[in-house]
Amino acid sequence: MFNKILLFVFCSFIFSEKIIFQIKNTNIYDYDFYETVPYSEWVVLDTSKQRLSKNSFLEKELVFFESLEKKINLHGEIYTKLNQRESQLLINFAYENFVAYPLIKESDLVDAKQHIKDRRFVYHLLLGYDGCSMPGVFPKNKEEVLKDISVLQKKISDSLSLAKTKDRASVFQDFVLLESEDPSASQNKGALGWISWGRTVSSFQKTVFDLPDGALSEPVLTDFGYHLVFVEKTEPSDFSYYNPLMLENITKKTCLQTLDFEKLRSSAIEFDSTLVSSDKLKINKPVLKKIFKTIEEKTKDKKLRGNKNSYINWIEEKSFSDVLFIYNQKAYGVGWFVYYLNKMPATRVPSIKTEGDLLSLLKSFILQKAVLLKAEKEALYSLYSYQKEFLKHKKNILQKEYSSFLLNSIEKPDSLEVFNLYNKGVYKGDYIKPKSVVYSEIKTSSEDKINKAYNHFLSEKNFDNTLKLFDGTIKSPVSEGSGGPLSLTAFGMKVGEVSSPIENRNKTFSLIRVEKFIEPEPFSLAKVYNQIERKIIKEKQDSIKFNLLKNLKNKYNIKGFDL
């Protein structure tokens, strides 16, 4: 009993949860924030960026509660999206818990649990060997490099023993600059920075976390060469600010890097095979063949393109009522396959060119269903880590959907609102048709021809005759500031004046006469009605986005929070 009391006191000492605000009867804790914004990132932000981070977090939490209150999570497409995400996460957790986690060595798990709440500030000195992964040419083999670095280790160790604790990092850095073959050593003096558990290869990681502060390691072999590791200091990792209930799953995740890929792969194959073994799964091959023939007829004979929607339509056209497969002594029809095909994102639906392609797709659906059934049977959905992960996804989805819901719920402004804004705009100089010019033009593809037209006008003194002879026309009004060289020239002329030849941007040539200028005037309301309507809606949408946090804080009576 005394030991249990000590354990409780110890846990309370190392973890103290703090309520930072409440939404109705729900507490939001400091660990909720630090699981979103890692503590190590938070403390280096300036005041302005800290405020933005807090506001972003608060807005997401408030939007989540508001979405639930308005039952946005139950809206058709959103409800489906949440269900699909929930299923996908449950499948991922199933493979982690049933396939990956059982392969983790107990010793690795013990180490991870011991060190998950710490991080170390680490320096290293690196010597390369022939064939290592570090860039460069290294003539010595592993054995020779090991001898060299062992001698160097003794030399550095002696120097460190003579140095004051506060000076040891500087002593090690001096040796790095002199001896390290790491290409980045001249810039970083061997500093690898803060290392948390699970962020580096196992052999290197174990050495780092077995060292006390201010200590030097024995030589450590990795693919990059032989390392000497120096730990300057230790402090709590970001995970130490998480809810302790999260740490068990996080600890296991950090151990996944220790697993052999081929062993993991074979374990996954064995797991899949067990779930859909021949004694559990019986596929009706004749019905499968009929479905494939339907698809083949459309794609080959009728040259139609196969995709998700077309596959669904073609299969539904046939109104198949047959049993497609039996799993665990339960029969499933073609409609079950169509249902899962409909749930699958269109971009992930493979091209069905052979009966084997169709069979593979069907088996993938059956396997997903089998994994979900096993996950539900083993109650993986009750795991705190799963609930927390799904909640994170749910909040992200609802934040996006809530914003769309608000913005799309804005009604079109009534005609009086548009009319009033139109009048205000005209008064301020908006919605005004700019000054324009009307001119007659002779246009040619060659400079010689335009010069002939110009010389004809000079000799005849009658531009109308020249216009007719050289197939000229009167042009629609051109606004000031548009139309290129022609417009620029025209606005510098008087009514009735004829220009000299003008070279256009497209290497054609023109001769013009200004017919008239049209003074600026308001556009008609009908001309700009849709533009004004869009402007009003855009302003309302911007106002909603800008005032969203303030309005929700007022509704739920939240002033802010401190950490």
Please list the residues that pair with 298 across neighbouring strands: none
CA-nearest of 236, 256, 263 to 108 is: 256
Beta pairing class for 473-474 and 436-444: antiparallel
Radius of gyration of the chain from its Cα atoms, rounded to whole angstroms: 37
d(C-alpha 275, C-alpha 371), whole Å: 8
Residue by residue, pLDDT tens for the chain (563 residues) are: 334 333 333 343 445 589 999 998 899 999 999 999 999 999 999 999 999 999 999 999 999 999 999 999 999 899 999 999 999 999 999 999 999 999 999 999 999 999 999 999 999 999 999 999 999 999 999 999 999 999 999 999 999 999 999 999 999 999 999 999 999 999 999 999 999 999 888 889 999 999 999 999 999 999 999 999 999 999 999 999 999 999 999 999 999 988 999 999 999 999 999 999 989 999 999 999 999 999 999 888 777 788 999 999 999 999 998 999 999 999 999 999 999 999 888 889 999 999 999 999 999 999 999 999 999 999 999 999 999 999 999 999 999 999 999 988 899 999 999 999 999 988 888 899 899 999 999 999 999 999 999 999 999 899 999 999 999 999 999 988 777 888 889 999 999 999 999 999 889 999 999 999 999 999 999 999 999 999 999 999 999 999 999 999 999 999 888 88
The amino acid sitting at 193 is G
The amino acid sitting at 6 is L
Q: What is the pLDDT of residue 480?
A: 85
Residues 456 and 470 sit within 8 Å (Cβ to Cβ): yes
Residues 503 and 485 sit within 8 Å (Cβ to Cβ): yes
Q: What are phi and psi of 135, to 5 degrees?
A: -60, 140
CA angle 61, 63, 68 (to 5 degrees): 100
d(C-alpha 519, C-alpha 36), whole Å: 60
Q: What is the pLDDT of residue 561?
A: 87
Q: What is the pLDDT of residue 426?
A: 87
SS3 state at 225 = strand
Distances (CA, A) of 145 to 113, 122, 135, 226: 34, 22, 16, 7
Q: What is the pLDDT of residue 481?
A: 79
43: tokens are: 């403390």
Q: How many CB atoms lie within 10 A of CB 145?
A: 22
